[in-house]
Amino acid sequence: MCIFFLKGCEASVLLNATKEGGAEKDGFLNLSLRGFDVIDDVKSAIEKSCPGVVSCADILALAARDAVQLTGGLFWKVETGRRDGRISLSKEIDANLPFSNFNITQLKQNFASKGLTKKDLVVLSGAHTIGSASCFTINTRLYNFTALDPTFASELKKKCKPGGILPVFELDQGSSTISDAQFYKAVRQNRGLLISDAALLDDHATRAYVKRQSKSAAGATFGRDFGKSMEKMGRIGVLTGSEGEIRQRCAFVN
């Protein structure tokens, strides 16, 4: 869900590279992003009926909400009226996106720089209920990090060798296509794949949230909390008025 984290919710992640350099989607942290063709198809259909009105940024925000709902998550209201940015540079990623090897201090600092709280941090981390991570991504966690369930670690090491790139593993083992709170149960049991997942246990407030949500598959308040935090994240760096533009095609500036 960190598609809104770099410049904000202005769809810069959808732009293709230019002669000025690689785009955000070309950066290492974003290489696993998928679905650009789906957004392009939606934009094309909207432009035929309502040209120059609906931004790619709004489409992306709505698509994120609908994807969560289609996988079993709760509905939340998506504010609209955003405009699209014109610049996308991969070199800006490192200073903005949270890395999977961040400790809790780095995570809190990163989220705070975007106006998000510790609660937003632990709630939005719950997006890891969907998706996967490569062997390369979890290698340090697997071979140089002690707080990992030994049985789980042994299972992973059978497939993920030191320095390996592939295969990929479900972030939420056994529930990676359903938006639920099972992720928090895994974290509580020291079975979170990422260092940043395990880091949620290193702060009193985030640890308490993990424990509370892990008591049931649906989570005590996770669905509602996630919607609220997504609404908040959707307000980061929004362009309105004469700022930016309404792109005709999401991968290209007008």
Give binding residues for heme b as ranges.
128
Name 168's bridge partners.
134
Residues making up the binding site: 8, 12, 24, 98, 128-129, 172, 180
Residue 134: which H helix or E strand, with range?
strand 132-134
Residues making up the binding site for Ca(2+): 8, 12, 24, 129, 172, 180
Helices marked H in the chain:
36-49, 56-70, 104-112, 118-124, 135-143, 150-157, 182-188, 195-198, 204-213, 222-233
First to last CA, the chain: 26
Q: How far is CA 36 from CA 13, 88, 144, 147, 157, in A?
A: 10, 15, 35, 36, 33
d(CA 113, CA 90): 19
**Tokens at residue 68, please?**
């969560």
- Going by C-alpha positions, the residue among 1, 140, 20, 17 that lies closest to residue 60 is 1
How many other β-carbons are positioned within 10 Å of the β-carbon of residue 128?
24
Give residue 119's Cα distance to chain centre.
16
> 254, 247 in Cβ contact below 8 A?
yes
- Going by C-alpha positions, the residue among 207, 240, 252, 224 that lies closest to residue 107 is 207
Handedness of CA 91, 92, 94, 95 (dihedral sign): positive
Residues making up the binding site for substrate: 98
